[in-house]
Amino acid sequence: MRRKVLAWTLFLGSLLLLSLAATPYSRAADAALISARLTLVIVLSILVVRERWRKRHELPGKGAPSHPDVGDRFLQRCLRWSHGEEKKPVSSGRSV
């Protein structure tokens, strides 16, 4: 159910954005959307270059970094989202 609501929200949002081209606010909407897209591309590019720079001396095939930070987690979430993977289950930390 939640997935359907998200899909409909995205669909209606895209229709709203497309309908802005027929209004006097089309230039402002274009500028805002272009700025948002360029900002996202710049942020992701900086995070990818930073990640590659941090791992430049590691051996190929080595596991995850020893100290993941916010940038690492954000890149992993974007990668999972782009591949359509589900969220990882949260472990409670207790062993049974």
Question: Does some domain include residue 73?
Answer: yes
Question: Does some domain include residue 44?
Answer: yes
Question: Does some domain include residue 13?
Answer: no
Question: Does some domain include residue 5?
Answer: no
pLDDT tens readout for residues 36-86 = 999 999 998 998 888 888 877 776 666 655 577 787 888 888 888 877 877
Query: Into how many domains does the chain fold?
Result: 1
Question: Does some domain include residue 41?
Answer: yes
54 with 65: CB under 8 angstroms? yes
pLDDT tens readout for residues 1-31 = 778 888 899 999 888 877 877 777 778 878 8
Q: How far is CA 68 from CA 55, 65, 72, 79, 91, in A?
A: 12, 6, 6, 15, 17
Question: Does some domain include residue 78?
Answer: yes
Question: Does some domain include residue 9?
Answer: no
Q: Note down the domain range covering 77.
A: 24-56+65-86
Closest by CA to 47, choosing from 25, 78, 22, 92, is 78
Question: Does some domain include residue 38?
Answer: yes
